């Protein structure tokens, strides 16, 4: 039976020295109980603790930290389905640059500068992949170094020649890169290089059994900074292989397959479907063949959907937000602080070309109807929020618009806001433009 955090805590030194990265031994014990940490991260763990906790304390899928500051962690997943708990680390997206590409410098700058804004979040590209593509070892290493300096992101170094790969690994020593591919033939060359220069290895083999054996070889040498590139032809096989690996790691606690998964998407529609498969089914790192803004936007949006924690609504800070420089006659719209609602309503008001205030009281990130049903979005509460916000002082005409779904709060709001005209808006944000044209102009 799994041990609880308190049971594990009894076996730890209890000095709270923080060297494991947790503030206290108890916090570390809790992480161990959730299989989000490894006992080896505590340098002072007693032999008794190692014996009792042993393999049971390791996360079913190892965490692999990449980058110079170890800023990107892959793995550490504990569930098959998001609704069981949550997915932990979103699939990292890398963009490939070939060493023989004359536009490599430009591509690196675009990868560095790309930024997508979605529901208030700014999302950038996680990693850069540098592929040897027939160039000499020296040219490959030079581009790896340039990518490390220009893009300042964790790297994937890709090349079939193990000696060239080892040379590139040395050129970016300490960069926390992924070396790929690592086969049974190249392991003896690349494992020492990865150990010496602080990189991870992406193991690959013809079939799952061979891959598991290769992972065992690395594990036998006390090397766990591993990713697995599963053998698969096309998205359907990829879906199946990824599912087998995740199930084996989680359900059977099969350690050789308990590592983050890496995949390289091909150019063209099948590659695009493959990349989406990685995001939806257990890929930890997906390398895209080239810089493609449209594709990145699609994949990042999909990833945002899959990796949003269903137990934590995305919220915006409560407040009264100006939209397009509202004047003294601007109306005040009200909605909840559920991010999606906020961005839909503010976007539609902007699209309508009007200006307004958008009052967003604290509703614990719930949508309008849910917040109202939970008693968090009453007329009284909205009225008090608007009064406290001070927006009244900026207005000569006082009009407040409540969402159509909660027309029922308008009477209470009128009592809470004497001197205000309370209007009932449309039920759907998409109808705000016609509402503003017909009722507010």
Site of interaction with ligand SF4 (CB under 6 A): 12-13, 15-20, 22, 25, 28, 42, 44
The nearest distance, CB 174 to ligand SF4, in angstroms, is 23
The nearest distance, CB 430 to ligand SF4, in angstroms, is 52
**Each residue of 350-362: b (16+ CB within 10 Å) or e?**
eebebbbbbbbbb
The nearest distance, CB 59 to ligand SF4, in angstroms, is 16
Handedness of CA 279, 285, 289, 293 (dihedral sign): positive
Q: Choose between 42 and 53: whose C-beta lies nearer to ligand SF4.
A: 42
Let me know: does 338 contact 362? Beta carbons within 8 Å: no
The nearest distance, CB 96 to ligand SF4, in angstroms, is 39
Give me the count of residues in the chain: 441
Cβ neighbour number for residue 175 with a 10 Å cutoff:
23
The nearest distance, CB 25 to ligand SF4, in angstroms, is 3
The nearest distance, CB 24 to ligand SF4, in angstroms, is 6
Q: Choose between 22 and 315: whose C-beta lies nearer to ligand SF4.
A: 22
The nearest distance, CB 41 to ligand SF4, in angstroms, is 7
Q: Please count the CA atoms within 13 angstroms of the CA of 339 that sit on its side-chain side.
A: 12
Q: Choose between 19 and 216: whose C-beta lies nearer to ligand SF4.
A: 19
Let me know: does 415 contact 381? Beta carbons within 8 Å: no
Q: Choose between 16 and 280: whose C-beta lies nearer to ligand SF4.
A: 16
The nearest distance, CB 3 to ligand SF4, in angstroms, is 15
Q: Extract long-range pairs of 212-220: CB within 8 Å, 24+ residues apart.
A: 212/254, 212/256, 212/257, 213/184, 213/256, 214/182, 214/183, 214/184, 214/187, 215/256, 215/257, 215/259, 216/256, 217/184, 217/187, 218/187, 218/191, 219/255, 219/256
Please provide residue 256's backbone torsions phi and psi, each rounded to the nearest 5 degrees. Answer: -60, -20
Closest CA to 403 of 425, 434, 430: 425
Q: Is 312 helix (H, G, I), strand (E, B) or coil?
A: coil
How many separate helices (H) and strands (E) can be counted in the chain?
16, 17
**Each residue of 192-208: b (16+ CB within 10 Å) or e?**
ebbeebbbbbbbbbeeb
The nearest distance, CB 33 to ligand SF4, in angstroms, is 13
Closest CA to 281 of 238, 325, 327, 340: 238
Q: Choose between 53 and 345: whose C-beta lies nearer to ligand SF4.
A: 53
Angle at 279 between CA 277 and CA 284, to 5 degrees: 115
Q: Choose between 23 and 434: whose C-beta lies nearer to ligand SF4.
A: 23
Let me know: does 42 contact 28? Beta carbons within 8 Å: yes
SS3 content of the chain, % helix, strand, coil (to 5): 45, 15, 40
Q: Choose between 44 and 351: whose C-beta lies nearer to ligand SF4.
A: 44
Q: Choose between 54 and 310: whose C-beta lies nearer to ligand SF4.
A: 54
Let me know: does 10 contact 21? Beta carbons within 8 Å: no
Angle at 197 between CA 46 and CA 59, to 5 degrees: 40
Q: Choose between 12 and 156: whose C-beta lies nearer to ligand SF4.
A: 12
Q: Choose between 65 and 244: whose C-beta lies nearer to ligand SF4.
A: 65
Cβ neighbour number for residue 393 with a 10 Å cutoff:
6
Q: How far does Cα 196 stand from its chain's mean position?
A: 29
Q: Choose between 15 and 380: whose C-beta lies nearer to ligand SF4.
A: 15
Please provide residue 199's backbone torsions phi and psi, each rounded to the nearest 5 degrees. Answer: -115, 170
The nearest distance, CB 21 to ligand SF4, in angstroms, is 8
The nearest distance, CB 23 to ligand SF4, in angstroms, is 8
């Amino acid at each position: 039976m799994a041990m609880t955090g308190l049971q594990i805590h009894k076996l730890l030194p209890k000095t709270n020295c923080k060297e494991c990265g947790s503030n206290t031994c108890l916090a570390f014990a809790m992480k161990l109980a959730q299989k989000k940490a490894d006992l080896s991260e505590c340098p002072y763990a007693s032999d008794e603790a190692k014996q009792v906790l042993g393999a049971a304390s390791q996360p079913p899928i190892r965490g692999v930290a990449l980058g110079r500051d170890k800023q990107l962690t892959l793995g550490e997943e504990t569930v098959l389905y998001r609704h069981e708990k949550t997915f932990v680390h979103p699939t990292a997206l890398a963009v490939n640059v070939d060493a023989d590409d004359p536009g490599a410098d430009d591509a690196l700058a675009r990868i560095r500068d790309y930024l997508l804004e979605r529901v208030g979040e700014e999302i950038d590209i996680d990693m850069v992949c540098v592929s040897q593509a027939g160039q000499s070892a020296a040219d490959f290493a030079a581009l790896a170094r340039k990518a490390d300096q220009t893009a300042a992101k964790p790297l994937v170094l890709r090349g079939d020649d193990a000696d060239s790969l080892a040379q590139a690994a040395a050129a970016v020593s300490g960069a926390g890169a992924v070396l790929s591919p690592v086969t049974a033939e190249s392991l003896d060359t690349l494992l020492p290089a990865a150990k010496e220069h602080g990189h991870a290895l992406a193991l690959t083999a013809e079939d799952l059994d061979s891959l598991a054996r290769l992972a065992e070889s690395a594990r036998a040498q006390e090397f766990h900074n591993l990713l697995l590139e599963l053998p698969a032809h096309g998205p359907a096989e990829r879906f199946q292989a990824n599912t087998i690996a995740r199930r084996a790691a989680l359900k059977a606690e099969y350690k050789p397959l308990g590592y983050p998964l890496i995949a390289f998407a091909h150019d063209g529609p099948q590659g695009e479907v493959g990349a989406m498969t990685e995001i939806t089914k257990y890929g930890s790192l997906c390398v895209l063949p080239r810089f493609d803004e449209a594709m990145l936007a699609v994949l990042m949006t999909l990833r945002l959907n899959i990796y949003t924690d269903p137990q934590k609504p995305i919220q915006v800070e409560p407040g009264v937000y100006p939209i397009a420089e509202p004047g003294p006659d601007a109306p005040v719209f009200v909605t909840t602080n559920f991010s999606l609602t906020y961005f839909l309503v503010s976007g539609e008001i902007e699209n309508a070309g009007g200006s307004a205030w958008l009052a967003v009281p604290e509703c614990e990130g719930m949508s309008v109807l849910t917040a109202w049903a939970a008693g968090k979005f009453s007329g009284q509460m909205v009225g008090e929020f608007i009064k406290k916000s001070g927006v009244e002082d900026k207005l000569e005409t006082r009009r407040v618009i409540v969402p159509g779904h909660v027309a029922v709060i308008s009477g209470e709001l009128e009592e809470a806001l004497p001197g205000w005209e309370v209007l009932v808006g449309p039920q759907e944000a998409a109808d705000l433009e016609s509402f503003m044209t017909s009722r507010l102009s």
